Amino acid sequence: MPSSMFSLAGKATVVTGGGRGIGRGIALAFADAGADVAVLARTQAEIEAVAAEIKAKGRKAVAIATDVTKPQDIAKAVKRTTEELGRLDIWVNNAGGEFGLVASSPEMGYAVGTLQREEAEWDRVVAVNLKGCFLCCQAAGRVMAERGGGAIINISSMAAVTNAPGYAHYSAAKAGVMSLTLTLAAEWAPHDIRVNCILPGCITTPKVNWENEMLPPDIRQAFLAGVPLKRWGLPQDIAAAAVFLVSEASSYITGSCLEVAGGLGMHV
């Protein structure tokens, strides 16, 4: 397959949660593939830094402070992207990763103190991980439909397809992201909008460092034993999959949920 099939030259892309970790990795990989990138997140300093890295690669970049749970923020981000990058071809919904309170489902309310706070915790995690994904898909899809097509990637998690004790709200939200992907892929295929999903496994980032901080050494080794490739993932592993799923190399793929997890949870 020629390398040109993976080129994103001339494409205007958006990466939410793009200020660090997986989002930063995807944004930089898109720039390396020739795309211009709008980097969205809540922390202005972080997205400005990533935008500067993209510009250093010779691509256009814009940093847009955005809370993906707020429709008005998303609308402003779409407007600025189309104004400053000239179009909108690709959108990656990476914002999320809010794990929330770690507690078993029956104990969650007791752990946070009151049932009212339990409900608020559930709502917060679902809003960031699922509602925000839907709102961004909706806004991006409208623009792409008008211009004749595009590609969307939603970042889910292996927690969506495995048991995740202590993270019922997070895993449920990420499973919702998978279901949303399948429905939108079917609904938007007539508009030539492809919608796919990536399920990262244990990816080491500054926020989630599986090598050093997440778990005690003995538990960490036991966890790693369940990963057939015997290493933690890196942001560039997800970024490579993302480039493939938005490029012409995957032009006949939509509604796919791709596990990038070193074999974690492999069905054998």
Terminal alpha carbon distance of the chain: 30
Say which residues have a Cβ less than 8 Å from residue 234's Cβ, sequence separation at least 6: 25, 203, 204
User: For residue 262, which phi and psi values (nearest 5 degrees)?
Assistant: 65, 20
Cβ atoms of 20 and 205 closer than 8 Å: yes
Cβ atoms of 184 and 137 closer than 8 Å: yes
Q: How far apart are CA 158 and CA 160, in angstroms?
A: 5
Q: For residue 175, give both structure tokens.
A: 């499973």
The verdict on whether 110 is a catalytic residue reads no
Q: Would you put residue 13 in left (φ > 0), alpha (ψ -120 to 50) or beta?
A: beta
Q: How many CA atoms lie within 13 A of 152 on its CB side?
A: 34
Which entry of 110, 167, 170, 252 is annotated as an active-site residue? Answer: 170
Q: How far apart are CA 62 and CA 81, in angstroms?
A: 7
Active site residues: 170
